[in-house]
Amino acid sequence: MAGAWEGLDPAIADAMIENVVGIFALPNGVAVNLLLNGQDRLVPMVVEEPSVVAAVSNMARLTRAAGGVVGECDASVMIGQVQVSAPAPGAADRLRSAIPSLSALAAGVHPQLVAFGGGLRGMEVRELRYDEPGEDPEDILVLHFFLDCADAMGANMVNTVAERLMPEVVAITGGRSGLRILSNLADRRLVRASVRIPVGLLDEPAVPGRDAADGLDVAKGIAAAWRFAWADPYRAATHNKGIMNGVDAVALATGNDWRAIEAGAHAFAARSGQYRPLSTWKVRDGALLGQLEMPMQVGTVGGPIKVHPTVQQNHAIAGIHGARDLAVMHAAVGLVQNLGALRALAREGIQQGHMRMHARTVALEAGASGLEISQVVEALCRTGEFTVQAARSILGR
């Protein structure tokens, strides 16, 4: 494990971005117990927030007793946009008629992509109008093209194709050159994960400070919490943040662009005109049914994946087999992370379990080390006072 602890070499970091002054480290954990599509998987996660890795591991253990999580992913199709402003009359029809020749041009930009199972998957023309009240209106014409990026996230591939198409699109439409870039609303690259948990597996025995709970009541509480998120965007934002706690941590660990994933996820959540939860939880026929669907633009080649040693090690730990496999892992982790948060909310509330994890950070800040950490954590939990001052008092400092 020496390589994992050593992490990124400063010389490599200096080549990756600009103005490097150091290396910023975050904890790199591994969630366990995940049974995904019938296979045991370890999940590398990079995150600073307490309870995230623990929640995934605990809920993965619960779901594996129900047969685990089932997941699937669409092909790795990304959307590129070529925009022209002030198009000439009839430009949209001319652009549609030119799709065969534009497709041939686009297909020739990355000829090697076909050998890896990718390639161009079509084009469409969109007619938009900017008509914000109080501002001058503007007609906008956009050529969308769909590129299967195989095992790459695909941003550079898509942008290269868009740049190549722009001069031809301008000539055809008679408009002004606009943007040529990918869209992070990757709604042709969706991933889905689902789980079915018999309510009996949600039974909870009585423990000190907490009464026993019937599994059906727990399931109903989880479903009620989801309905609140469906009805209220203020709750849905926090609901989805819990999903992204897991998704982002896997993205960071595997060298993927968590900002692109976040952008696509939240845009997708608002596609109906109201911001909604990305997951659903319902009680049906004696079981809690959970489903998650969201865009997932991840890759197993390109970016920092081949140059960052810890990212490479995390790919090996996870046993990843291509971008679609990695996307399914992201979704499974997001779903079980969401389950953990909703179960806590439906029972004792999120704070009780979270503060126990937070107590470790408080103990470290107070100067605890080694065995002192667990002793301080237990004492803080008994008193319910999670402050640095209280931790120092326990340590006698």
Distance CA 213, CA 203 (A): 6
The reported pLDDT for the residue numbered 368 is 86
Supply 87's token pair. 């198009």
The reported pLDDT for the residue numbered 349 is 52
Does one domain contain both 290 and 227? yes
Q: If pLDDT is split at 50, 70 and 90, which confidence band does 347 have? A: confident
CA distances for 141 relative to 95, 226, 333, angstroms: 9, 39, 39
Does one domain contain both 49 and 105? no
Does one domain contain both 115 and 56? no
What is the distance in angstroms between the CA of the first residue and the CA of the last residue of the chain?
A: 35
Count of helix runs (H) and strand runs (E) in the chain: 14, 10
Amino acid at 228: F
pLDDT digits (tens, 9 = 90+) for 26-57: 999 999 999 999 999 999 999 999 889 999 99
Q: What percent of the chain has pLDDT over 90?
A: 77
Does one domain contain both 44 and 161? no
Across the range 358-368, mean pLDDT stands at: 81
The reported pLDDT for the residue numbered 31 is 98
CB–CB of 297/182 below 8 Å?
A: no
CB–CB of 145/106 below 8 Å?
A: yes
How many domains does the chain divide into?
3
**Closest residue by Cα to residue 35 from 61, 72, 73, 56:** 61
Which of 6-10, 193-197, 239-243 is predicted with the least confidence, judged by mean pLDDT? 6-10
Does one domain contain both 87 and 155? yes
Q: If pLDDT is split at 50, 70 and 90, which confidence band does 1 have? A: very low
Which residues belong to the active site?
Answer: 49, 241, 257, 354
Q: Where are the beta strands (DSSP E) in the chain?
A: 28-36, 39-46, 70-73, 77-85, 119-130, 138-148, 176-183, 190-198, 279-284, 287-295
CB–CB of 193/329 below 8 Å?
A: no
- The domain boundary, picked from 148, 183, 218, lies at 183
Does one domain contain both 321 and 223? yes
The reported pLDDT for the residue numbered 209 is 65
- Order of strands, edge to edge, in the sheet holding 138-148? 119-130, 138-148, 77-85, 176-183
Supply 132's token pair. 């914000």
The reported pLDDT for the residue numbered 394 is 87
**Closest residue by Cα to residue 74 from 125, 150, 181, 145:** 150
Range of the domain at 379: 355-395
The reported pLDDT for the residue numbered 167 is 97
Against a cut of 0.85, is the pTM above it? yes
The reported pLDDT for the residue numbered 357 is 60
Q: If pLDDT is split at 50, 70 and 90, which confidence band does 350 have? A: very low
Q: If pLDDT is split at 50, 70 and 90, which confidence band does 305 have? A: confident
Does one domain contain both 206 and 59? yes
Q: Helix/strand/coil (H, E, C) string of 195-252?
A: EEEEHHHHCECCECCECCECHHHHHHHHHHHHHHHHHCHHHHHHHHHHHHHHHHHHHH
Cβ–Cβ contacts within 10 Å for residue 307, how many? 15
**Closest residue by Cα to residue 61 from 366, 342, 336:** 336
Does one domain contain both 226 and 169? no
Does one domain contain both 248 and 315? yes
Q: If pLDDT is split at 50, 70 and 90, which confidence band does 304 have? A: confident
Evaluate the CA torsion angle 211, 216, 220, 222 in order and state its sign: positive
Distance CA 79, CA 185 (A): 8
- The domain boundary, picked from 183, 213, 244, lies at 183
**Closest residue by Cα to residue 381 from 392, 368, 390:** 390
Which of 97-111, 120-134, 206-220, 329-343 is predicted with the least confidence, judged by mean pLDDT? 206-220
Across the range 127-136, mean pLDDT stands at: 96
Kindly write down the DSSP assignment for every residue of 133-176, as one continuous string.
Answer: TTS--EEEEEEEEEEE-TTB--HHHHHHHHHHHHHHHHHHH--E
Which of 83-92, 98-107, 211-220, 375-384 is predicted with the least confidence, judged by mean pLDDT? 375-384
Q: What percent of the chain has pLDDT over 70?
A: 95
Does one domain contain both 66 and 213? yes
Residue 356, pLDDT above cutoff 80: no
Residue 313, pLDDT above cutoff 70: yes
User: What is the domain-level CATH number for residue 27?
Assistant: 3.90.770.10
CA distances for 128 relative to 125, 170, 174, 212, 299, angstroms: 10, 16, 16, 57, 31
The reported pLDDT for the residue numbered 184 is 98
| DSSP bridge partners of 176 | 85
Q: If pLDDT is split at 50, 70 and 90, which confidence band does 355 have? A: low
- The domain boundary, picked from 155, 183, 211, lies at 183
Evaluate the CA torsion angle 370, 4, 257, 315 in order and state its sign: negative
Does one domain contain both 55 and 93? no
The reported pLDDT for the residue numbered 6 is 66
Does one domain contain both 252 and 325? yes
CB–CB of 357/350 below 8 Å?
A: no
